[in-house]
C-alpha cells in the first residue's frame, strides 16, 4: 500500500512517541508498504527503504519542541496540516495513518477523499493536558474530550500502546477496532548519524554501584523522588541521569545540592540511541521512578531486555505490564525507592533480571510486532 503518515513531533528524536513512530515505519516498510511521512521541520533524517520524509514549513525558525502540549506545537501543527493537505489532495494513497493530535487532520481531510484512517493513539490527549499541567480551562478540556470521541469514531482502526489506554478508548468507540501494540521494539538500526562513544564517569571505588535513568526529565517522571532516594543510600551508590533540557538539569542540580548528593550524580544530557547500550551495560540497577500517569514508559521494554534489575514505582503506569516477578516494584516514596534499589543490588535483583529477560524472549519479538501491525492494517479494510 501507499500510506500517508502524519507525525506531529520532531522526527526523529530520541524520545517516546518518535521512537514508537520509527518502529511503526520500520514494520510497515518490512511488510512491503511505502510510507510518505509528513512531520515537523526539526529532527534527524533516517534511512529506511520505502520511507520518504516531507517536512512542513518553519517560518519562525523553531529549533526545538519540548515534550507535551505547547504553543510551538500548535503553530507547527498548522503548517503540518497545510503540507498534509497538499499531499492528500494531489497524490494517491491507500491509507492515512496518524499519530496523536494529527488524527483530527484526518477527520477533516477524509471529507474530500474517503480513504481509511488508522489512528495511532499513543496517549489520551486529555490526560496529557493534566500530566503537563497545561491548562485548567473547562472549555479547552471539553474540546479535547470531544476531540478524542470524534477521532476514535472516525478511525477504521486504532492502535493503543497499553491496557489502560485500551480500556479508555473502548469506552468511547468499542473494542472491536482496537489493537494493543506495546512499544517493545528496540532495534534502532536505520537512524543516521555517527555519535561518538560516551566517556564513562569513573567510579569512586570498586564497591561503587551505578543507578541509571534514561528518558525525559519532565515532572511526572519522578526524578526529584529519585534524588531524594539517593540521599538515603550509602555513599558508594552513584546515579547516572540521561536526558533532559538544560534548564531541567539546572533545576535538578539545585535539588541535589540541597540534598548534598551532587558529587554522586552524573548528568549526561541528551544522548543518541546508539550511545545508551554501553551505559546500560555498566549500570548495576535501572530505574523508572515515574510518579503519575497511565501509559507505560517506552524505556521499560529495553530495561527488561537488558539483563539488569529494574526498580519501578508501583503505579498503574508500570503495573499493567510489570509484575513482582520481573521487576522490583516500590511505592512512589523516596525511602521505598531507596529500599528497592538496595534489594536490586542483592541476589534478588539478579533473579528478577533473569526472569525479565526470559519474559521478553517469550513475548516480545520482531515477528510478533509485525503480526500486530498487520492486524491493525487489516482492520482498516485497506489491506486485502
**Residue whose C-alpha is closest to residue 256's, from 268, 269, 244, 265:** 265
For the record, the C-alpha cell of 330 comes out as 516500590
Residue 147: per-residue pLDDT: 86
Residue range(s) occupied by CATH 3.40.50.2000 in the chain: 2-185+364-380, 209-363
Domain 209-363 has CATH 3.40.50.2000: yes
Residue 169: per-residue pLDDT: 94
CB-CB contact of 83 with 38 (8 Å): yes
Euclidean distance between CA atoms 147 and 113, whole angstroms:
20
pLDDT in tens, 332-363: 999 999 999 999 999 999 999 999 999 999 98
For the chain, give the mean pLDDT. Answer: 92
pLDDT in tens, 205-246: 678 999 999 999 988 999 999 999 999 999 999 999 999 999
Element (H, E) at 207: none
pLDDT in tens, 244-262: 999 999 999 999 999 999 9
pLDDT in tens, 100-112: 999 999 999 999 9
pLDDT confidence band for 128 (50 / 70 / 90): low
What are the helix (H) ranges across 41-183?
71-90, 103-109, 125-131, 138-154, 163-173
pLDDT in tens, 21-42: 999 999 999 999 999 999 999 9
Q: Whole-structure pTM over 0.85, yes or no?
A: no
CATH architecture of 2-185+364-380: 3-Layer(aba) Sandwich (3.40)
Residue 224: per-residue pLDDT: 97
pLDDT confidence band for 285 (50 / 70 / 90): very high
pLDDT confidence band for 298 (50 / 70 / 90): confident
Rounded to 10°, the helix 347-363/334-345 angle is: 90
Look at residue 264 and tell me whether its pLDDT is greater than 80. Answer: yes
Euclidean distance between CA atoms 185 and 375, whole angstroms:
17
Average pLDDT rounded to a whole number, residues 167-187: 90
Euclidean distance between CA atoms 84 and 54, whole angstroms:
9
Using CB atoms within 10 A of its CB, is residue 61 exposed (0-12), middle (13-18) or buried (19+)? exposed
Look at residue 383 and tell me whether its pLDDT is greater than 90. Answer: no
Residue 167: per-residue pLDDT: 93
pLDDT confidence band for 69 (50 / 70 / 90): confident
Amino acid at each position: 500500500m501507499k500510506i500517508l503518515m502524519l507525525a506531529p513531533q520532531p522526527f526523529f528524536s530520541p524520545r517516546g512517541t518518535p521512537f514508537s513512530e520509527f518502529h511503526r515505519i520500520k514494520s510497515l516498510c518490512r511488510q512491503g508498504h511505502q510510507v510518505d511521512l509528513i512531520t515537523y521541520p526539526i529532527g534527524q533524517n533516517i534511512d529506511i527503504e520505502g520511507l520518504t520524509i516531507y517536512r512542513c514549513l518553519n517560518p519562525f525558525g523553531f529549533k526545538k519542541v519540548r515534550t507535551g502540549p505547547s504553543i510551538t506545537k500548535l503553530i507547527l501543527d498548522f503548517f503540518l496540516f497545510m503540507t498534509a493537505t497538499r499531499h492528500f489532495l494531489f497524490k494517491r494513497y491507500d491509507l492515512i495513518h496518524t499519530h496523536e493530535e494529527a488524527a483530527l487532520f484526518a477527520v477533516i481531510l477524509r471529507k474530500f477523499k474517503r480513504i481509511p484512517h488508522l489512528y495511532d493513539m499513543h496517549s489520551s490527549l486529555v490526560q496529557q493536558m493534566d500530566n503537563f499541567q497545561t491548562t485548567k480551562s473547562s472549555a479547552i478540556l471539553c474540546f479535547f474530550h470531544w476531540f478524542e470521541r470524534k477521532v476514535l469514531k472516525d478511525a477504521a482502526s486504532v492502535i493503543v500502546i497499553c491496557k489502560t489506554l485500551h480500556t479508555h478508548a473502548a469506552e468511547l468507540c468499542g473494542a472491536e477496532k482496537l489493537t494493543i501494540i506495546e512499544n517493545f521494539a528496540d532495534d534502532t538500526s536505520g537512524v543516521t548519524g555517527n555519535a561518538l562513544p560516551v566517556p564513562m564517569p569513573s567510579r569512586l571505588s570498586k564497591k561503587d554501584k551505578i543507578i541509571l535513568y534514561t528518558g525525559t526529565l519532565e515532572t511526572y517522571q519522578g526524578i526529584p523522588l529519585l534524588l531524594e532516594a539517593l540521599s538515603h543510600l550509602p555513599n558508594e551508590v552513584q546515579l547516572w541521569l540521561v536526558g533532559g533540557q538544560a534548564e531541567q538539569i539546572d533545576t535538578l542540580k539545585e535539588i541535589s545540592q540541597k540534598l548534598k548528593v551532587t558529587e554522586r550524580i552524573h548528568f549526561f544530557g541528551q544522548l543518541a540511541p546508539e550511545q545508551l547500550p554501553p551505559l546500560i551495560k555498566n549500570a548495576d540497577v535501572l530505574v523508572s521512578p515515574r510518579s503519575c500517569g497511565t501509559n507505560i514508559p517506552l524505556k521499560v521494554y529495553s530495561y527488561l531486555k537488558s539483563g539488569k534489575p529494574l526498580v519501578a514505582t508501583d503505579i498503574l503506569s508500570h503495573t499493567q505490564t510489570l509484575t513482582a516477578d520481573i521487576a522490583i516494584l516500590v511505592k512512589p516514596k523516596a525511602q521505598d525507592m531507596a529500599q528497592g534499589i538496595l534489594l536490586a543490588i542483592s541476589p534478588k535483583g539478579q533473579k528478577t533480571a533473569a526472569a525479565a529477560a526470559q519474559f521478553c524472549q517469550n513475548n516480545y519479538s520482531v515477528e510478533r510486532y509485525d503480526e500486530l501491525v498487520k492486524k491493525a492494517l487489516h482492520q482498516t479494510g485497506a489491506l486485502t
